[in-house]
Structure 1
Amino acid sequence: MNPLTTLLLAFSMSADAFAASIGSGAQMGRPHPLRALRRGLVFGVVETIAPLLGWALGMGAAQYVEAWDHWIVFSLLLLIGGHMMYASFSADGEGGSSAATRGRRGWWLLLATAFATSIDALAVGIGLALMDVNIVTTALAIGAATTLMATLGTLFGRWLTDKVGRPVEFLGGLILIGIGSGILTQHLGLW
């Protein structure tokens, strides 16, 4: 795979993390750029590991991953998106939880979202096992693109919330549900 193809693959794999991080950024108070970068790094690290795991699984396990990946992604994004939509209606954005509870829950929601948006990279890793590619370079490119896009998405989501208000958080949840629904309908052949 040439460098341009690797770059295009990397940014295409980061698109769903970008969309998810917009919703995530909408839930945050005013994020410092370093905090947004930390969130971007979580997405990037998970997205780097996913194709490596897919590569390791190889073609022997491809049928099992492909049979369930769309249901896993849909379920996770439906739950996370639904939570974001619910939180957009509460006064403090988190259903009245304490700051400590929100922090713990926020960390797990971030990891779950990063995992859900990386399932496609896992499947790509399985496909790359059949090609003559340097999987480490490709995985690092995917992780770097995802880190950049998720960081920018987090900052953009916060900016949108400042300009438009709470409806952006609701819209972020709706986007996550839309991503999950799109993946599900595509895999079921309905789209």
Structure 2
Amino acid sequence: MLAAPLDLSPLIEISQWTNTSPAMKEVGQVFSMPKSFSDLVIKSIRTLPYVAVLNGTIFALIGLYMIWSASAFSSRAVETELAVVLVESKRSDNGQVYRPTFEALTAQGEARRYTGNTWVSPKPHSQGEVVQGLVDWSSGEIRSTSMIEWSKSFGRMIAFIGGVCFLLGATYLWYKRRKQA
């Protein structure tokens, strides 16, 4: 049993119509298969602005999330003194990392311990230290103020780098398209 041949002419017409816009021609030139090594190098360089915009967006969002997370915890938590009862350490690919275990007393005098899931370097606290911190009694989460501030400052740095990458890539692409028009 033979199947009837498919009529692909509408698809070919749509394909030709979409490839006529200057933006689609540029995308086709950037993302088409390279024919030689020098062509590969040129195409790789042409994709850098797109990579900068994409990575800049991702970095900015991660940094903003870190800032938001630390700020949201700070707003719902209560300030108290914390005792550092244990500092775990382990070897990672980038050297030694540490994770403190904090203990705080409730209003009834009951001790609550909390070990976060974040390993950091350098060592944030030493065992036996008494530090200022915040406690969210509803979730049981405990963080020191220095670790919260570190999280906010690291988030600001990541968001700033992401924003700069996004702006550089987007400005270059805007300038290039404006120049072509």
Give the TM-score, by structure 2 length. Answer: 0.33
Q: Which has the higher strand share?
A: 2
TM-score, with length taken from structure 1: 0.32
> Which structure has the larger Rg?
2
Which structure exhibits the higher relative contact order, with contacts defined as CA atoms closer than 8 Å and separated by 6 or more residues? 1
